């Protein structure tokens, strides 16, 4: 299976539809939820990466960053049919490589429950003494 990884500059209508499917497949949004924010979120990220198999988007991820020192990786998703084949790792590695190319040396993320092994294998470690904080949605 040949996978092509791309840093996204523009997001096509086909990619938007595929991203929506990935969000829904991952359980990040429900069938009744609007998906209009996804393309804008990806386009406004410091780095957005997509993985393609035979021209079809099968994975994605993005990083929020000041492009100087700090970045947060988020929204890494891979279609169920392509999981456990290195696609997610390829997405994260390309995000890291591009961030480091820009001089960003502090890269963090919040992974979904059950992804600890995946991110550890990519070199991420928990930070003892640090607490995750989130403002609840009202």
Kindly report the number of other CB atoms within 10 A of residue 7's CB atom. Answer: 12
Q: In the chain, what is the straight-line distance between the N-terminal and C-terminal CA atoms, in Å?
A: 43
Kindly report the number of other CB atoms within 10 A of residue 25's CB atom. Answer: 13
The verdict on residue 136 lying in a domain is no
Q: For 40-82, where are the E strands, in sequence order?
A: 47-53, 56-65, 70-78
The verdict on residue 138 lying in a domain is no
The verdict on residue 36 lying in a domain is yes
Q: How many structural domains comprise the chain?
A: 1
pLDDT score at 110: 86
Dihedral sign (CA 17, 91, 89, 133): negative
73 lies in which domain range?
3-121
pLDDT score at 63: 97
pLDDT digits (tens, 9 = 90+) for 31-89: 999 998 998 999 999 999 999 999 999 999 999 999 999 999 999 999 999 999 999 99
pLDDT score at 130: 85
The verdict on residue 93 lying in a domain is yes
Q: Is the pLDDT of residue 138 over 80?
A: no
Of residues 137 and 13, more confidence is placed in 13
pLDDT digits (tens, 9 = 90+) for 34-44: 998 998 999 99
The verdict on residue 130 lying in a domain is no
- Please report, for the domain that includes residue 32, its CATH number: 3.40.630.30
Q: Is the pLDDT of residue 134 over 90?
A: no
Nearest to 62 by CA among 77, 81, 52: 77
The verdict on residue 67 lying in a domain is yes
Pairing of strands 70-78, 56-65: antiparallel
pTM, rounded to two decimals: 0.92
pLDDT score at 127: 87
The verdict on residue 110 lying in a domain is yes
Phi, psi of 96 (to 5 degrees): -60, -45
The verdict on residue 85 lying in a domain is yes
């Amino acid at each position: 299976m040949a996978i092509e990884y791309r840093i996204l500059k523009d997001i096509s209508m086909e990619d938007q539809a595929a991203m929506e499917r990935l969000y829904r497949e991952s359980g990040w949004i429900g069938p009744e939820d609007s998906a209009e924010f996804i393309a804008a979120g990806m386009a406004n990220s410091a780095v957005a990466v997509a993985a393609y198999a035979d021209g079809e988007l099968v994975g994605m991820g993005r990083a929020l960053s000041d492009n100087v020192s700090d970045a947060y990786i988020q929204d890494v998703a891979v279609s169920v049919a392509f999981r456990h084949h290195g696609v997610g790792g390829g997405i994260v590695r390309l995000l890291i490589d591009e961030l480091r190319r820009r001089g960003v040396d502090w890269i963090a993320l919040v992974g979904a429950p059950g992804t600890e092994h995946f991110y550890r294998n990519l070199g991420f470690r928990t930070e003892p003494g640090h607490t995750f904080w989130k403002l609840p949605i009202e």
